[in-house]
Amino acid sequence: MFNRSRRNLARWFTLSMGSILTIFCTVLYVLELRDRLHSFDLALADRVRVMASSVEYRYHRGAWQLNLQQVPVLGTNALRFNHNIVYARWYDRHKKLVQFVGVHPPSHLEAVAGFRTVRPVDRADPWLREVTFPVYQQGQLIGYLQVAISLASVREFSRQLGWFLTFGVPLALGAIGLTGWVLGGLAMQPIREAYDRLGRFSADASHELRAPLAAILNNAQVGLMLPVGDGSQQQMRLEKIVNLAKGMSELVGQLLFLSRYSGRLNFQKLPAIDLREWLTQVVSQFQERAIAQSHPIDLKMGDRPLFVRAEEDLLRQALFNLLDNACQYSPPDTPISIRLYSKLRHAAIAVEDNGIGIPSEDLPHIFDRFYRVDLVRRPQHGSFGLGLSIVAQIVEVHGGTIGAASAGDRGTTFTLELPICAASPAKIH
């Protein structure tokens, strides 16, 4: 599904950007060709003006006489200059041919004054740029000068630009398609992650809720089968249903938590907290529960403040989970140690118990969802195998890490590390 959506995004992105690119290249080609032809016409007009300025028209022996001998290209006495003129023609003011050089012209001028592109049939290079220039002297029209030069340079530029666009546009379209595919993947990544979280939530919920739902159904059916007057048995069945429903509610809450928090929190929006003060408050809040389970808490920390950016409620839940875990799997009347210390650029909180420990082969997996160690995570403990997963996820969204160490049956130490930040007194919570 996601690959199909990604392909559609890339296809539409390529189509839209390719259309824009094609229109842009077409307009560029036309404008560049028009600009080159305009420059070509200006150069041709300059040459024609030089030739026209060399025409002599004077009154001699009672009549006006025209002298073209000094006109470049046309005249025999004129100085030669570098040119690529194909032909030059002079027509009188009645548009009759007087003199020409190059291709034999028609005897009567048919073209109007100005520029035009012509294609003679007897040349290997068929395209010429021709200008017909009316020549005036003393306000009187004396004739027309017609000059044509080859458009080879313009055609070569047009050919090169055409080849460049012919090969460049497909390559650009390929790059656009690849970019669209990459951008589509990046755009689809949050959706894919959300979909994966939803899928994991559905799979986890269906997997873990199947057994309690079956137990609820079983107790309800047995309760219905009991005699009406047997209130004690019905009461016991109802209590089991209530306990199972509470466990399911807790499980759903944990699953929703895992599906809700992913990625990283925005550190700029998180308050800076002093872990020394915060730990003192958290231990004070948990102290009553620990004493009820005969587990005194030993808190050790230095004198220097350690600031981290964190969501206090989330971090409190992570530490509560670790303390609950330590109380649950430690023998009565054994202390639980909490140490706060700095480690390079991180603040470390270590929670150490004196329980039965975790086998070394299970340590790499204890933060996986629904993972239970056979020796300690037994059904009577009421654990779903999500507590440590929640702790790991809370630490990860804060940009930290968590690890566990256990020496056989001599207890386990969980250490979470969070990046230290500098905070002014105004930012301390």
Q: Which of 24-33, 139-148, 227-236, 266-275 has the lowest mean pLDDT?
A: 227-236
Phi, psi torsion values for 185, nearest 5 degrees: -65, -40
- Residue 372 above 60 pLDDT? yes
* CA dihedral of 263, 269, 270, 274, whole degrees rounded to 10: 150
**Which pLDDT value is given to residue 426?**
39
Give the per-residue pLDDT at 8.
Answer: 80
Average pLDDT over residues 319-338: 87
Q: 297-301 and 336-343: which strand pairing?
A: parallel
Question: In this model, does residue 229 exceed pLDDT 90?
Answer: no
Q: What angle do CA 215, 218, 222 make, to 5 degrees?
A: 140
Q: What pLDDT is stored for residue 256 in this prediction?
A: 66
Quick one: pLDDT at residue 211?
60
- Give the pLDDT confidence score for residue 202 in this predicted structure: 66
Q: Can you spell out the DSSP letters for 249-281?
A: HHHHHHHHHHHH--S---GGGSPEEEHHHHHHH
Average pLDDT over residues 15-31: 89
**pLDDT for the residue numbered 258:** 58
Portion of the chain with pLDDT greater than 90, in percent: 13
pTM: 0.48
Instruction: For strands 346-352 and 336-343, give the pairing.
Output: antiparallel
Q: Are 234 and 390 in contact (CB under 8 A)?
A: no
**Are residues 146 and 80 in contact, defined by beta-carbon separation less than 8 angstroms?**
no
Residue 290 token pair: 């620990």
41-51 pLDDT, tens digit per residue, is 998 898 888 88
Query: Residue written as tokens 């629904």?
Result: 370
pLDDT at 3: 75
The CA-atom distances, in angstroms, between 363 and each of 55, 320, 356, 373, 390 are 104, 20, 14, 9, 16
Could you report the per-residue pLDDT of 49-79, keeping only the tens digit for each?
888 888 888 877 767 778 888 888 877 665 5
Residue 375 has pLDDT above 60, yes or no: no
Has residue 98 got a pLDDT over 70?
yes
Contact indicator for 347, 308 with CB cutoff of 8 Å: yes
Look over the chain and give the mean of its residue pLDDT values, rounded to a whole number: 80
Domains, the chain, ordered by start: 1-156 (3.30.450.20), 264-419 (3.30.565.10)
pLDDT at position 191 over 70 = yes
Residue 332 contacts residue 293 (beta carbons within 8 Å): yes
Q: What is the mean pLDDT of residues 77-94?
A: 75
- 143-168 residue pLDDT tens: 999 998 888 888 888 888 889 888 88
**Mean pLDDT within 131-150:** 89
Lowest mean pLDDT, pick from 114-118, 336-340, 343-347, 404-408: 404-408
* Lowest-confidence segment of 97-101, 228-232, 354-358 by average pLDDT: 228-232
Tens digits of per-residue pLDDT, 280-322? 998 888 888 888 888 888 899 888 889 999 888 888 888 988 9
pLDDT at position 263 is: 63
Weakest mean pLDDT among 48-52, 195-199, 410-414: 195-199
d(C-alpha 148, C-alpha 135), whole Å: 16
Asked if pLDDT for residue 415 goes beyond 90, the answer is yes
pLDDT tens digits along 172-183? 888 888 888 888
Angle at 371 between CA 370 and CA 375, to 5 degrees: 130
pLDDT reported for residue 134: 92
